[in-house]
Every structure is written in C-alpha cells, then in structure tokens.
Amino acid sequence: MSNNRKQFETEAIRTQMERSQYLEHSSPIYLTSSFVFEDAEDMRASFAEEKERNIYSRYSNPNSSEFIDKVCKMEGAESGFAFASGMAAVYSTLAALLNSGDHVISSSSIFGSTHTLFTQFFPKWNITTSFFDANDLASIENLIQPNSKILYAESPTNPGVDVLDLEVLGNIAKKHGLIFIVDNCFASPYLQQPIKFGADLVIHSGTKLMDGQGRVLAGITVGGNKLMDKVYRFSRITGPALSPFNAWVLSRSLETLAIRVDRHCSNALQLATFLENHPKIAWVKYPFLKSHPQYEVAKKQMKAGGCVVAFEVKGGLDAGRKFFDSIELLSLSANLGDSRSIVTHPASTTHSKLSKAEREAVGITDGMVRISVGLEHIDDIIADIDQALG
Ligand SMILES: Cc1ncc(COP(=O)(O)O)c(C=O)c1O
C-alpha cells in the first residue's frame, strides 16, 4: 500500500496502533499505569529519552497515542498531547507557554471557564489578559504590548456562535510574533482546521463532538513539534493526562466523527431555519444562516455550520423560563456535541461566573437559549421546540 495521505474519513478509521501478538482487528485497551524494561540499560536509555517508547501512562500510553495520531492527521499537526478534560488542555497549554509578566490577547467571547482562568487565576502569577470584541478584529493591534505572547480565540464561539476570521487572526499573530491558539471544539477538526489559517496550536474539548455521546471528559492540544514539546514537558510533570480507557473510547468515536457531524449540521441548519421564521423568536444565530453577520467568513473557513444554534425567545427571561420548563424530549443540560439534543441557559450555567456586564458585552443576554442539536430525527427535535414555544 502507498504512504499517500488518505481522506479524512479513512484516516479516522485506519490510523491505528500496531497490532499485538493476538492480531486483533479493533484496537485493545492498555489499562496499565507503567511499562516494563528489558534490562538496566533499557531502563536508563528510556528515561534518558534516547528511545521513543512508553514508560509511564502519565507521559504516554498506546491508547492516548492512537487518539493523538488521529487528531494530528485531522488537524494537519505534527504532534499533540491528550488531557483529562478540555480545561486541562486549555490550562496546561497556556501554563506551559506563559511566564510571569507575559500578556495574553484573547477574544472576549470564549468559554466561561477559560474566561475565568484569564481574569481570576492567571493574575495570581502576574499574567495579564486584554480582551477584544469578536466582531471587531481591527481593534486587536491596539491591544498589543511589548510583553504580548499569545493570541487566543474560539470560533464559532461558546455560546453566541460568533465566527472569527481565522486568516485575519493568523496574519496579525504572524506580523507581531504572537503564538496563535485556537479552541476548535465547536467546529471539530472535520469542519475546520485552524492550522491552515495560521494557528500554531489547536485545542479541543474532546468531551463534545469528538466523543459525541456524552460519555467521557477529554481534551487535546495539537500543533508544531517545537511548541508541543513545551506543552509535553509541562504536562508530563504536572499530570493532567487522559486515561487510557477514555482515549480508547475517543479513538473509536473519531471513526464516526465525519458521518455524525454531517447529520448534526444538517439537523442544526433545519432547526435554525425553522426558528428564523417562528413568530415567538426574537433572533436566531447559526453560522450557516445567511443572516449570520459572518456568514461569508463561516463559508470560507468551515465545511458546515456546526451543531449549536443560539436564539432568544420573545418576552425575555420569563418567556425563556417557560420555554425551558415546557421542553419534553430534549435534555436540559450543560454539555454540547452529544447525540442527544441539549437545551442550555448560558447566563445561569456555563457563563454564570462572568458578571452580568461581562456577559452582556459578549451578547449573552438573560433570555439567550443555546441548543446543541443532536442526532434524533429532525422532525421530533422541531416538534418538541415548537410545542415548548407554544
Ligand atoms: C469552547 C470550549 N472550550 C473548552 C471547554 C472545556 O471542556 P471540558 O468541559 O472538557 O473541560 C468547553 C466546555 O464546554 C468549551 O465549550
């Protein structure tokens, strides 16, 4: 067989660890905390990193490596590290690269816990952050300081599904020598590969579309060897590694990522179109709706619009509460990217640690509803939402 790169779906299925002596077809789980050495010299050389091999599962494990190899191929990255959660990936990646006195420039429209990390925890280590408006990328250059090190963004954003032009961000980062990091979990590597647009590192919460069935927490960071080596050295010491069992679950899930995400996206677009024409809806946002302010950018950098639709029910908080209490089929939960459709109220859940002013600055109104559109039949998803609005 030739070594040519295969299509996304093929790599997702055929990237596999070496078979064991049992010649299994599907990869086994290596539930082991450590690995054995042939002799004293093997042990010394392994710890001296003269050999590439598994030593201890906090550093590497065949199941994590298989998961990482798949994501690297999907994202066009050289190497990666797998974490126990998306936030472990966000924290460890930033902590590995930042020193006391450094400055971060971040989109203000980011996941609530990431925002809290920047505003409440990094200042403890004299790391400061300036935020830019996701809809005003021209303002970024005014925020750059001599100690700026990282440009950080999500696209589409959580929960407002704003879309940021990754090519514009990549060019700014390159011009000013910033490390450009993208949290790509709303798109998944199937819909968008930020490295193509200049990202140095790409982070995912594997808990979302990668797992796709709401079973495991996971995170991953991938990128070029030089930066990833720093992330790896920090992480093998501090211990946020993904468990082999969860890595095995995720690697199996990635085999069906493309086919699942295609259906998530077609269901989400149909729901967004239905809501756009509904008399009880004040506004609806979905990247692949023509009415989305960055529709053209979304078309340029994404294959489809993703699984999340944001909207507001007319009548504000009270109407929103009534809507949530009337939902029958969909789940009231805080996750997303699950096969089960999920309705969330960001102001009281995922973004509750932000002040009201911080929420309003990024468009998270008290009445905003976020729906992660799942894989149930679209007619049943729409029927439940329609009856809850009624
Ligand atoms: C955009 C984004 N990044 C990171 C995370 C954190 O992931 P985890 O919950 O796996 O720690 C989330 C979780 O919702 C998210 O939506």
pLDDT at 111 over 70: yes
Average pLDDT in the chain: 95
Range(s) of the chain covered by CATH 3.90.1150.10:
257-389
pLDDT at 2 over 60: no
Q: For residues 325 and 230, what is the distance between their CA atoms, to the nearest angstrom? A: 47
Supply the residue whose CA is at minimum distance from atom 2 of ligand 1.
111
Q: Which atom of ligand 1 is nearest to the CA of 89?
A: 11
CA of 85 to the centre of ligand 1 (A): 8
pLDDT 10s digits, 10-32: 999 999 999 999 999 999 999 99
CA of 87 to the centre of ligand 1 (A): 6
In CATH, the architecture of 8-253 is 3-Layer(aba) Sandwich (3.40)
Report, as an integer, the average pLDDT of 46-62: 96
pLDDT at 1 over 60: no
Give the residue among 307, 308, 288, 285 at the shortest CA–CA distance from 365. 285
Give the residue among 223, 217, 220 at the shortest CA–CA distance from 200. 223
Range(s) of the chain covered by CATH 3.40.640.10:
8-253
pLDDT at 340 over 60: yes
The reported pLDDT for the residue numbered 230 is: 98
% of residues, the chain, pLDDT over 90:
89
pLDDT 10s digits, 183-241: 999 999 999 999 999 999 999 999 999 999 999 999 999 999 999 999 999 999 999 99
Residue from 158, 161, 249 to probe ligand 1 pocket by mutation (most atoms less than 8 Å from CB): 158
Alpha helices in 243-361 (DSSP H): 244-254, 257-276, 295-301, 316-326, 356-361
Flag the least confident range among 58-72, 119-133, 325-339, 343-357.
343-357
Give the residue among 24, 1, 375, 62 at the shortest CA–CA distance from 245. 62
What would the DSSP string read from start to end of 228-273? HHHHHHHHHHH--BPPHHHHHHHHHHHTTHHHHHHHHHHHHHHHHH
CA of 224 to the centre of ligand 1 (A): 22
Q: Is the peptide bond before 123 cis (omega within 30 degrees of 0)?
A: no
- Six token digits for residue 208: 């979302």
The reported pLDDT for the residue numbered 360 is: 80
Supply the residue whose CA is at minimum distance from atom 1 of ligand 1.
111
Q: Judge contact between 156 and 289, C-beta under 8 A.
A: no
pLDDT 10s digits, 79-93: 999 999 999 999 999
CA of 205 to the centre of ligand 1 (A): 5
Flag the least confident range among 177-181, 331-335, 347-351.
347-351
Residues framing ligand 1 (Cβ under 6 A): 85-87, 90, 111, 154, 158, 183, 185-186, 205, 207, 217, 219
pLDDT 10s digits, 351-369: 787 788 888 887 888 889 9
Which fold would CATH assign to domain 257-389? Aspartate Aminotransferase, domain 1 (3.90.1150)
